[in-house]
Structure 1
């Protein structure tokens, strides 16, 4: 990944509670409590594109790929589980949306207490 792109993704992920970075399939991966992967870099998987893959709530992948195929894609291996790929080598990456996707990915796999520290329950 580009230095700027990976550093921005890293800063968001490591800013979340109890996140650890370690290699996963030769790319940087971000795990909650060292166990559950919620996002990973994708610089060498089947093409020459620089991207990340992130867990996503139901329907998000389909919506993003349909409305922005130049920015989003269905990643191999995990796309069938709803993960979304985000190209980081496009002009004008929508960083606020990337940050939201990473926080959403974290909240999908984090235990309730950690999720609530990031996004308190409504009510």
Structure 2
């Protein structure tokens, strides 16, 4: 398995039907039909993070349970997105699950059906 967090995230995201990568240099976003379902961000704190949509209550649960690992990201946090720091040994199984669920909340029904 690749130790570069961005490469791992890229592999997880781009394995999903019609997922594409876009965004600015250094802060890529992952999209389906031009709708963002996940992104990496710097936050200008010298720490890389990754943000994705989360289902109802998931953001609150993760942030309350492990605030050193998870956080409410600016701009999209009030829409339920959750952020996690990439320098705090990410739980890659949970990351994969969160990304897949974010994709399912974003993708058209036809693409969601391909994953069933």
CA distance, structure 2, for counterparts of residue 107 and residue 24 of structure 1: 24
User: Aligned runs of 1:88-107 on 2, under 5 Å?
Assistant: 88-90=86-88, 92-107=89-104
| Residues 32-64 of structure 1: CA deviation (Å, up to 9, x unaligned) | 02x100000012x24221110101111110000
Total equivalences in the alignment: 114
CA distance, structure 1, for counterparts of residue 103 and residue 44 of structure 2: 25
Match of 1:39 in 2: 38
> What stretches of structure 1 of length at least 5 have no aligned partner?
none
CA distance, structure 1, for counterparts of residue 25 and residue 51 of structure 2: 12
Shift of 1:96: 0.4
User: Aligned runs of 1:61-72 on 2, under 5 Å?
Assistant: 61-72=59-70
Match of 1:21 in 2: 21
Confirm or deny that 1:54 pairs with 2:52: yes
CA distance, structure 1, for counterparts of residue 35 and residue 47 of structure 2: 25
Q: 1:24 to 1:81 in 2, by over 3 A?
A: farther
